[in-house]
Amino acid sequence: MIVAKHVWETVEDPLTFKNYDPEKGWPLTLGPYVLNKVTTNEAIWVRNDDWWAAKIGLKNLPAPKKVIYSYAGTEEVRRLAETVAREVERRAPELATSRWWKEERGARVFVDFNQANRDRTIAGAYSPRPLAWAPVSTPLASKWPFLSAIHQGP
């Protein structure tokens, strides 16, 4: 994050500085949009019709008057992951399963939608584990020849 000098000089504690105070006009932006509202699952930016670059003729104002960034919460992400897992299982039952018990899986790939939770992620080829020896879980495939040796724990 880049913060203007006149803003940074007023910061008492950099560790708690959020660069967000609508009454002071923060965050400062140089782009054509200014932050209008932030909630737990969206940020709303409105077009600044007084944008400096448009005023001097450098660029045109963008057409959208408002940009809304929406992001899903933990429960929505988990439901999506479960839906995807069930659909993969439906389309390729001989290859994939979302069954929890190992005895029911056989040799099929386990699509674990339960990893989409507050303290986990289901999307990621490399998934570091919070253990003292810092293992990284990753899919093994012949398409990744740089994996010359696999270490199976401490």
Backbone angles phi, psi at 121, to 5 degrees: -140, 145
Q: Is 85 exposed, middle or buried (0-12, 13-18, 19+ CB in 10 A)?
A: buried
Model confidence over 34-92: pLDDT tens digits? 888 877 777 888 998 998 889 999 989 988 899 888 766 677 777 888 898 899 999 99
Q: What is the model's pLDDT at position 13? A: 83
Q: What is the model's pLDDT at position 138? A: 61
Q: What is the model's pLDDT at position 92? A: 92
Q: What is the model's pLDDT at position 147? A: 54
In the chain, where are the structural domains located? 5-70, 74-135
- Nearest CA among 20, 37, 17 for reference residue 28: 20
- Residue 105 vs residues 14, 86, 114: alpha-carbon distances, Å: 50, 14, 16
Fold agreement between 5-70 and 74-135: no
Q: For tokens 């040796």, what's the residue?
A: 149
Model confidence over 92-128: pLDDT tens digits? 999 999 998 889 988 898 888 887 776 665 555 556 6
DSSP string, 17-39: --S-BGGGTBSP--SSEEEEEE-
Model confidence over 2-28: pLDDT tens digits? 567 777 788 888 777 776 776 777 766
Q: What is the model's pLDDT at position 68? A: 86
**Does residue 77 contact residue 55 with C-beta atoms inside 8 Å?**
no
pTM above 0.75, yes or no: no
Asked whether the predicted pLDDT for residue 137 surpasses 70, the reply is no
Q: What is the model's pLDDT at position 56? A: 92
Model confidence over 141-152: pLDDT tens digits? 555 555 555 555
Provide the CATH topology of domain 5-70: D-Maltodextrin-Binding Protein; domain 2 (3.40.190)
- Nearest CA among 3, 32, 33 for reference residue 20: 3
d(C-alpha 7, C-alpha 126), whole Å: 38
The verdict on domain 74-135 having CATH code 3.30.70.3300 is yes
Backbone angles phi, psi at 136, to 5 degrees: -125, 120
